[in-house]
Amino acid sequence: MSKTNLSQFNNSWYKPGGNSVKRLLWHFTNVVWFNSGFPISGVKVFILRLYGAKIGSGVVIKPRVNIKYPWKLIVGNNVWIGENVWIDNLGQVTIGDNVCLSQGSFFLCGNHDYKKQTFDLVVGDIILEDGVWIGAKAIVCPGVTCFSHSVLSVGSVATSNLEAYKIYQGNPASVVRERIIQ
């Protein structure tokens, strides 16, 4: 039976964008301005735009947010990003208008191919359409699209696409009811 051999791991194909100096500068910027308790959203939005993120108006970014690569981030208008949100965007993360990312939610664009001895890196983009709500401590996995106004409830894990106007719960998340907005 074959075994995993991490000494053979090679992700040289992966290109995160930006040069090594830009990535290093972003690392320190992320620690000081985003991963800290710094409270002023407007400054954070300005910094993200400097690093190539496309950010709409009315965006609120709470303290202790972690963003891997701002140049792989698109955020619409009137988006709330709560405390301790982690956007691990090895791939593109696109967030529509009026989206709420609750405290501690986690967006994973990368994973590993456990079927290969070399444990190859696998990258998938994440799309959150307009009106989506990701609950506290919920996880969105690589390649998932959360369609318009879907909800991923507290502590749930989205391993596949979420249908529009549906509320999901569990691990893996499954539909529990419709979302009706009055």
Place of tokens 């079927």: 115
Percentage of residues of the chain with pLDDT beyond 90: 99
3-state SS class at 126: strand
The predicted structure's pLDDT at residue 11: 93
Nearest to 56 by CA among 74, 76, 82: 76
- Taking 70 as the pLDDT cut, the residues of the chain under it are none
Domains and CATH numbers, the chain: 18-178 (2.160.10.10)
Statement: the pTM of the whole predicted model exceeds 0.75: yes
Tens-place pLDDT, residues 13-58: 999 998 999 999 999 999 999 999 999 999 999 999 999 999 999 9
Q: Are 76 and 97 in contact (CB under 8 A)?
A: yes
pLDDT at 89: 98
